[in-house]
Amino acid sequence: IHERQRPVVLEAINAVADRIESEQDHLTELDSAIGDADHGANLTRGFSSVREELEEIEDEPIDAIVKEVGTTLISNVGGASGPLYGGTLLTASQELTDGFTAESSVAFAEAYLAKVKDRGDATVGDKTMVDTLTPAVHTYKKSIEEDELPPLTALAKAVDAAERGVEYTVPLKAMKGRASFLGWRSVGHQDPGATSTLYILEELLAVAET
């Protein structure tokens, strides 16, 4: 399974890196409204390091590749989002010792969400990436476990839910991170981390669909 899925996983990582790069200015713009205007640069730096690292890890099992992506993000993204993006991948990668199956992908998604919430101490409504991840992960899990949909359909539904999650951040008052320093002045702005999380999910779907 690792042999078969490896090219898809590597393609997904590259697709995410491309998307982050092309959205860098937009993410910076969002973060300049309610933060310190570095979210685009933080993630672009992180993913370009990941790209450089890929050659060295491209023969590893899936879980090791994902873990290495996490480690690289931790040391290169910085800011609040570094540990939130990197540390969580590192932990959630433990669910992928048998690669991606319907079951392991749910476990991975749940472990990822749990770790983000634990690390950032944020919950739904705090105007963070948790507002994107929570509906996405719950929709994915329900689609697979209750509605017995195939993973690809479940992922498409999760992306729809994530999109609504991003829109949901606009009217919220930020409760975590730098944006919370603005208090009510954060209202009316879309959260950068919620947005980058959506872009990543969209790329995972796009690669899974091919």
Contacts of 63 (CB under 8 A, 6+ apart): 93, 94, 95, 96, 97, 99
Task: List the single partner that 141 binds among ligand ADP, Mg ion, none, CB under 5 to 8 Å by kind.
Answer: none
The least CB distance from residue 102 to ligand ADP, in Å, is 27
C-beta separation of 91 from 111 below 8 A: yes
Smaller CB separation from ligand ADP, 100 or 112: 112
Site for Mg ion, rule CB under 5 A: 31, 35-36, 38-39, 79
Give the largest CA-CA distance in the chain.
50
Shortest Cβ distance from residue 170 to Mg ion (Å)? 18
Answer whether 47's CB lies under 8 Å from 15's CB: no
To the nearest whole angstrom, how small is the minimum distance from the Cβ of residue 154 to ligand ADP? 24
| Residues 189/34, Cβ–Cβ less than 8 Å | yes
Partner that binds at residue 193, options Mg ion, ligand ADP, none, CB closer than 5 to 8 Å by kind? ligand ADP
Instruction: Tell me the Cα Rg of the chain.
Output: 16
| Nearest distance from C-beta of residue 124 to ligand ADP, angstroms | 11
Residue closer to ligand ADP, measured from CB, 61 or 79: 79
State both tokens at 108: 């991975």
Out of ligand ADP, Mg ion, none, what residue 130 binds, judged by CB under 5 to 8 A for its kind, is ligand ADP
C-alpha 74/C-alpha 80 separation (Å) is 10
Interaction site with ligand ADP (CB under 6 A): 31, 35-36, 38-39, 42, 79-81, 84, 120-122, 128-130, 176-178, 191-194
SS3 content of the chain, % helix, strand, coil (to 5): 80, 0, 20
